Amino acid sequence: MFKFSIAIVACVVGFSTTGFAQTQRGTMREACKADFEKYCSDVQRGGGRLVECLNKQHDQLSEACQKALDARTKQ
């Protein structure tokens, strides 16, 4: 019974972490949409290239995008 309880807790923690990451990604996508189109539209997606591109433009990004990017990098 104890092993079953540990398995349940591990699943709940895993799912909540995944949900948090997806929510954070969605928040960043919304906050940075205009900045992405302005500065990084030619960047191929995947491998962290979009975040890297936005980080290079950090001082020129909208305040909302800067906050979303900072929150993502603090994980």
The answer to whether position 34 is within a domain reads yes
The answer to whether position 57 is within a domain reads yes
The answer to whether position 71 is within a domain reads yes
The answer to whether position 9 is within a domain reads no
Give the chain's domain count: 1
The answer to whether position 72 is within a domain reads yes
The answer to whether position 69 is within a domain reads yes
The answer to whether position 60 is within a domain reads yes
**Contact assessment for residue 53 and residue 34, using Cβ atoms and an 8 Å cutoff:** no
The answer to whether position 14 is within a domain reads no
Low-confidence spans in the chain with pLDDT less than 70: 1-25, 74-75
Q: Which domain holds residue 62?
A: 23-75
Q: For 16-36, how does the pLDDT look when each residue is reduced to its tens digit (9 = 90+)?
A: 444 434 455 678 889 999 999
Q: Give the contacts of 65 (CB within 8 A, at least 6 positions apart).
A: 28, 31, 32, 34, 35, 54
